[in-house]
Amino acid sequence: MAKVSSNVAEIKKAQAMAESLGQASEIVLPSFGKELFLGHFRLDLIAPFPEEEPAVAAETAAYLEKIRHVCETEWREVGPEIERTGVVPEYVVKGLADLGAFGMKIPKEYGGLGLSQVAYNKALALVTQVHSSLGVLLSAHQSIGVPQPLKSYGTEEQKKKFLPRCAQGAVTACLLTEPNTGTDLAHTATTAVPTDDDEAYILNGVKLWTTNGVIAELVVVLAAVPRSETHRGGLSTFIVEIDSPGITVERRNEFMGLRGIENGVTRFHDVRVPKENLLGKEGKGLAVALSTLNVGRLSIPGMSAGAGKWSTKIATEWVAVRSSMGKPIGKYEAIASKVSFMAATTFAMDAMQEMTSIMADQKRNDIRVESAIAKLFASEMGWRIADDLVQVRGGRGYETAASLQARGERAVNAEGSLRDQRINRVFEGATEIMYLALAREAMEEHQKNGFALFDPDVDLAEKRKVAVNAAKYYAGYLPTLAVGKGHNPNSYAEYGTLAKHLRYIDRRSQRMARHVIYGLARYATGMLHKQMFMSRIVLIGTELYAQACAIVAAERIRSKVGGEQGEEAYALADAFCRQSRLRVDELFGALWKNTDELDRKLTSTMMEGSYSWLWSDIIDLSEGTGPWIADQTHGPTQTEDVRRDPYATV
């Protein structure tokens, strides 16, 4: 009983946190992803492929051509320069501002371009070809920096004051993470204490990994307001001028990739922030942060798709000219399988990010699940594609572009792309956090309809009511998981050779939902701790959504373009679905046959000191160089301020 009580207590805590994050609110708009996890394949929610309005599409095309021209003619050498210097040149930042790139998603009435999410993603994909740091600079500014939360939660006065500056090139950043707080934002230590005259807040704290923070003019900061008789308190968000007295950017961090990223450590020491700079309401800061990420994280699939296209192009050209034992290496199965995976997966990744972006623009669907899936899929597959490119090119994949060029070969930056792609599995919600967020969505209806039966705080009379309601719910729900179009061999005939894959998605979504129910029956509230089980469920749903997007995108190309391109789109979608189906079937098998419990126990004993003999004969030169996590949260800084003006030499 104690274990059940503990599980229920943790579930309540998770639900309360989800509600504070804005994730447990009732979904009003339909969600393809949500329905998919429930075993309902609602193809009508994504098919036919949603289209931009003709005027919007024309505006997108015109702007992308401007971006492309500058990248191809003026910035061809910028990538190597950033790799050498570790800094995005000032003239490039100025050039982006002149192109309006800092205001792509800012409405026209506030001085921005008012472009769609689709246009924004494609523009990021283009500038990323110059160097990944450029995409991160723009994304950190517009996807999660001041403009996005300000558009959603700001007052009209705040929008008029700050958005025109953002559109003109005032770089912004989002300051959430702290030395001791990552995803668990509820334990944010930075404080915002109201002044005695109630005209301002006094900020104190330290923020870590502040992308753009070294060159930002404005930042959005998450901080805790103490509760009092006059203040609701709780985590809140503030727009802060970075030149305010008491702010110090203590260092510029260095990373494995993204050599030009302006990421630092920022300290607030008795920083006065006017009360009119409170963004949204007190206590709603987590909701602001999370809702910003729902759309903001779509920039990663956009950039990943662009990188995937480049990698596929380079790989295809390389395997056709590189020979081994008398024939091109692309003729060997071991290489061909990698190139096929790269091409098919890039097609699906691009379809997924465009589908989800258009739905975000049109606001016809709730895209919380879809945006999380798109981020998860693109970051994981983008990394695999980059890794395969290095493998296909062999030694030339591991060699730097500068070294290749120095000895007269084409300067292909495969190793740099691999380094840059790796962070996407961590940025804006690490893969493991995406698993947890999506697992919660997959279980939400079951939590509503039965978990109270295990709650020791619910009295017997109430449990009887819950049992009756649960019986009614599952009596109506379970039969829907055994019938449908997926069981009809003639369904989806309008999709030709891809119809079989749609039937597969339909059936597998039902099977996925049945496994969730079986897991609940087996583990009850213990499902909260079965993270690997739920991660596999999430991955199954992710693969199925990717398959559906690829199929619907292929049908759009066949119907609109036709000819050889239409046939090739169908071939790419077919290849992706076949590859994806193998992964899905493997995941189903691992749901009940795995080493999860063994892994958990082994790691626990290692954490307690066992198995240290395994590494006793090596030298760890990192020992003695500092604590695992430095205590950076107390007292004023004595460190030199390293912030800089991105236009200093312009």
* pLDDT reported for residue 148: 94
The CA distance from 373 to 547, in Å, is 12
* pLDDT reported for residue 25: 46
* pLDDT reported for residue 623: 76
* Cβ pair 546, 348 in contact under 8 A: yes
Q: Per-residue pLDDT tens for 247-259?
A: 999 989 999 999 9
Q: Write out the two tokens for 496.
A: 């030709």
* pLDDT reported for residue 441: 84
Confidence band, pLDDT 50/70/90 cuts, at residue 19: very low
The residues, ordered by sequence, that sit 6+ positions from 501 with a Cβ below 8 Å of its Cβ are: 547, 551, 573, 574, 577, 581
- pLDDT over 80 at 335, yes or no: yes
- pLDDT over 60 at 621, yes or no: yes
The full set of domains in the chain, from first to last, is 2-46+434-596 (no CATH), 54-168 (1.10.540.10), 172-293 (2.40.110.10), 294-428 (1.20.140.10)
The residues, ordered by sequence, that sit 6+ positions from 313 with a Cβ below 8 Å of its Cβ are: none
The residues, ordered by sequence, that sit 6+ positions from 143 with a Cβ below 8 Å of its Cβ are: 292, 295, 296, 297, 298, 299, 428
Q: Is 173 helix (H, G, I), strand (E, B) or coil?
A: strand
Name the DSSP class of 377.
H
- pLDDT over 60 at 22, yes or no: no
Q: Write out the two tokens for 213.
A: 């923070």
Q: Is 194 helix (H, G, I), strand (E, B) or coil?
A: strand
Average pLDDT, the chain: 91
Long-range contacts of 574-577 (CB under 8 A, 24+ apart): 574/497, 574/498, 574/501, 575/340, 575/343, 575/344, 576/344, 576/345, 576/347, 576/348, 576/546, 576/547, 576/550, 577/498, 577/501, 577/504, 577/547, 577/550, 577/551
Q: Write out the two tokens for 546.
A: 């990717």
- pLDDT over 90 at 24, yes or no: no
Q: Write out the two tokens for 319.
A: 């395997």
**Which one is catalytic: 354, 370, 380, 428?**
428
Q: Per-residue pLDDT tens for 232-244?
A: 999 999 999 999 9
Cα–Cα distances in angstroms (integers) from residue 473 to residues 40, 445, 478, 537, in the given order: 15, 10, 9, 22
Q: What is the mean pLDDT of residues 73-91?
A: 96
Q: Write out the two tokens for 274.
A: 């006017």
Q: Where is 201: in which H helix or E strand?
A: strand 200-211
The residues, ordered by sequence, that sit 6+ positions from 572 with a Cβ below 8 Å of its Cβ are: 343, 344, 347, 550, 554
Question: Within 13 Å and on the Cβ side, how many CA atoms surround 363?
Answer: 1
The residues, ordered by sequence, that sit 6+ positions from 361 with a Cβ below 8 Å of its Cβ are: 52, 116, 117, 118
- pLDDT over 50 at 33, yes or no: yes
3-state secondary structure 249-268: EEEECCCCCCCCCCEEEEEE
The CA distance from 136 to 426, in Å, is 13
Closest to 153 measured CA to CA, from 220, 213, 210: 220
Rg (CA), the chain: 26
| Burial status of residue 322 (CB atoms within 10 A of its CB: 0-12, 13-18, 19 or more) | middle
Judged by average pLDDT, the poorest of 15-24, 140-149, 286-295, 338-347 is 15-24
Judged by average pLDDT, the poorest of 217-231, 413-427, 635-649 is 635-649
Q: What is the mean pLDDT of residues 10-16?
A: 49
Is 19 assigned a catalytic role? Answer: no
Q: What is the mean pLDDT of residues 514-520?
A: 92
The CA distance from 209 to 175, in Å, is 8
Closest to 527 measured CA to CA, from 455, 457, 446, 590: 446
- pLDDT over 90 at 291, yes or no: no
Per the DSSP assignment, residues forming a β-bridge with 68 are: none
For a pLDDT cut of 90, what percent of the chain falls above it? 78
Judged by average pLDDT, the poorest of 87-96, 173-182, 214-223, 307-316 is 173-182
pTM above 0.95, yes or no: no
| Burial status of residue 581 (CB atoms within 10 A of its CB: 0-12, 13-18, 19 or more) | middle
Q: Per-residue pLDDT tens for 180-199?
A: 887 778 889 999 999 999 99
Q: What is the mean pLDDT of residues 424-446?
A: 89
The CA distance from 620 to 230, in Å, is 53
* pLDDT reported for residue 637: 61
Buried (b) or exposed (e) across 614-650, using 16+ Cβ within 10 A? eeeeeeeeeeeeeeeeeebeeeebeeeeebeebeeee
| Burial status of residue 2 (CB atoms within 10 A of its CB: 0-12, 13-18, 19 or more) | exposed
Per the DSSP assignment, residues forming a β-bridge with 172 are: 218
Q: What is the mean pLDDT of residues 372-398?
A: 97
Q: What is the DSSP string of 439-475?
A: HHHHHHHHHHTTGGGG-TTS-HHHHHHHHHHHHHHHH
- pLDDT over 80 at 649, yes or no: no
